[in-house]
Amino acid sequence: MFLRQSFATQCALAVGVCLLVALGAGCASPEKPAVVQPPPRAPVAASKPQPSLSNAEKGLARRPGPPGSVARPLVYALRRALRRPPQIAGRLAVPLRRQWKYIVIHHSATDEGSEATFDRYQREQKGWRGIGYDFVIGNGHGSPDGLIEVTFRWEQQLVGAHAGQKEYNEQGIGICLVGDFDRDRPTPKQMEALVALVNDLQERCRIPTGSIVMHRQIRAAGTHCPGKNFPFYDFLSMLDH
C-alpha cells in the first residue's frame, strides 16, 4: 500500500515538474519573428512628356544682339544647313593688293538691278570710273536670285566708291544686295550668298566679325543704307567666324 502511494506520488510530482518546465522553460514552440514591413512609397507624379522641337524651331537660336535689342527669330536659319556653293560671276580668287580691314553692307534701294546696270548708271550719270561696289548680289529682278557678281574693282583691287568715307573706301570691301530693304527684305538666296561670300572674305582677308558694318554705321555716310529691314544681327549670327 505504501509502495503504491509512493509510486503515485512520484508520478504526480513528475507530471507537475514537467508542466512547470513546459510553462516556464520554453517547451512550447517558439514565436515566429515579426516581419518588418517597409513604409509605403509615396506616389510618384507622372512627368509630362516634353514636346519635341521641330526642325524649324531648332533653327531659331541666335546670338544676342547689342544691349537693348529685341531678340527676334532667325528668319534665315534653315538656309544655314544647306551650305551650297554660291553662284559667282567673275573672279573671286585674285591676288590681294590692298590691306582690307572692313566689309561694308549696302542695298541698292531699287527694286531691281545688276552689276551691269549699276555700272552703266554710275558711269553715265555720276561720271565715275564705273560701279563703286566690289560685289553685287542679285534678287531675281535684273539678275539671278542669289548670284554674286564680282566687279572690276575687286578683280583689279581698286579703291572703292561706296562708303562716303575715305578709310572705308580704301580699306573696306563693298557688297551691295539688290533691293529696297526699307520696304522689303532680302531673299533667302541673297542671304545665303551673302553669308558664303563674307565667310570667304573673312578667311581670305583676315577680317574679324567686329569689322563688318552696315553703310549707315559709318559716321560720315549720312544714310539709312542698307534699310531698316536688313537683318544685320541675324546675318552676323550665321557667320562661321
Query: What are the sequence ranges of the domains in the chain?
Result: 87-237
Determine the pLDDT at residue 126. Answer: 87
Q: How far is 121 from 108, CA to CA, in rounded Å?
A: 12
Determine the pLDDT at residue 33. Answer: 43
Q: Which fold has domain 87-237?
A: Lysozyme-like (3.40.80)
| Residue from 183, 182, 187 nearest 224 by CA | 182
Query: Structure pTM?
Result: 0.67
| Residue from 87, 63, 83, 88 nearest 73 by CA | 63
Q: How far is 113 from 149, CA to CA, in rounded Å?
A: 11
Distances (CA, A) of 199 to 143, 153, 181, 239: 22, 20, 22, 6
| Residue from 76, 75, 130, 133 nearest 109 by CA | 133
* Partner residues linked to 214 by β-bridges: 105
Mean pLDDT, each 10-residue run in order, the chain (241 residues): 42 41 39 47 44 34 38 41 70 93 97 96 91 97 96 95 92 97 96 95 95 91 90 93 75
Q: How far is 146 from 143, CA to CA, in rounded Å?
A: 9
Determine the pLDDT at residue 72. Answer: 38
